[in-house]
Amino acid sequence: MTGDAAKALESFQNTVREAALLAARGQLPPDRLWAYHEARHQCLVIAENDIQPETTEMPEEAIATDAAARVAQLDADQLAAWICAAPEPQRSALAFFYVNEFSHREMQNLLDVKMNELANLISKGRSQFQAWLNTVTEGQ
C-alpha cells in the first residue's frame, strides 16, 4: 500500500509490535480484521508526509470481457504500482478488492465508509484500471 518495501516493513513491524503489546496485556481484539485495520492505519501514518500523487482525472473505460486474461499478463509489481498510485481510500478499497479475501461488509468496516461509497470507490477504480490496462496490454 505504501509503494515502498521499507515503509511496508515498518508498517508491518509496528502492527506486530502493537499486537504483541495488546496480547501481553490480554487485550488483543477478537476481531479478525483488527490486524488489517491497524496495518492500513500504520501505512497511512507512514505515508502521510511523503510525496502525494497529484489529483488528476484518470480516464475510465467499461470493464472488458477479457479483463481477467489481461490482468493475468501483468507482473504482480505492475498491478501493485498502479494500485499504490491511486488516492486514498480508493487505493485501500482496490487493494482489498484484488486480494479477494474480504467480503464487501468487511471492506466497508476496514475502510470506515458507507456501502455505497465502497461500491463507488471500487467501480471507479476498476474502470480507471481498465483504461490503464488497455494501454499496457494493447496488442498482446
- Residues 43 and 25 reside in one and the same domain: yes
CA distances, 85 to each of 11, 22, 104 (Å): 18, 33, 22
* Together in a domain, 16 and 79: no
Does residue 2 sit in the same domain as residue 21?
yes
Domain interval for residue 8: 1-51
Is the pTM of the predicted complex or chain greater than 0.75? no
Among 25, 51, 77, give the residue marking a domain's end: 51
39, 104: one domain: no
State how far the Cα of 8 lies from the Cα of 42, in Å rounded to an integer.
9
- Where does residue 19 rank: exposed (0-12), middle (13-18), buried (19+ CB within 10 A)? middle
Listing DSSP states for 11-43 in one string gives HHHHHHHHHHHHHHTT---S-TTHHHHHHHHHH
The domain total for the chain is: 2
Are both 124 and 63 inside the same structural domain? yes
Q: What is the pLDDT of residue 114?
A: 93
Cα 31 to Cα 24: distance, rounded to the nearest angstrom: 17
CATH number for position 63: 1.10.10
Instruction: Using the predicted structure, report yes or no on whether residue 15 has a pLDDT greater than 90.
Output: no
Tell me which of 31, 51, 71 is where a domain ends.
Answer: 51
Residue 133: which pLDDT band, with cuts at 50, 70 and 90? confident
Percent of the chain past pLDDT 70, that is, above it, reads: 86
Rg (CA), the chain: 17
Same-domain pairing of 75 and 137: yes
Final residue in a domain of this structure, among 15, 33, 51:
51
